[in-house]
Structure 1
Amino acid sequence: MRFQEEDHFMFWAIAGCLGQIVRDIFGYLVVMAGLVKSHIWNLAADLFFNGSVINTFGGLLIGALVNYVAAGSTGVITGLLLEWRGTKHYLFKGIGVTLLAWLFIFGLVVHSLPEVFKVHPQEPLDVFFSFLGHMILGAITSWLITRFTGPAAQGERSLERHDG
Structure 2
Amino acid sequence: MFAEFRKLDCVTEDKSIRGGPQKARCHLVIKDVEDEEPGRNAPEGDGCFSVSIRRERLQKTFIEVMGIFQEVHGGEERIYCDMICPKAHAVFHSKSLSHRACFKYHTYGLEQRGEDWLLWRSGKCLNSTALFDIGCKFDAPFKTQFANDKEIFARLKARKA
Do they fold alike, i.e. is TM over 0.5? no
Higher share of residues assigned helix: 1
Higher share of residues assigned strand: 2
If asked which structure has higher relative contact order (CA below 8 Å, sep 6+), I would say 1
**Given the two structures, how large is their TM-score scaled by the length of structure 1?**
0.28
**Given the two structures, how large is their TM-score scaled by the length of structure 2?**
0.28
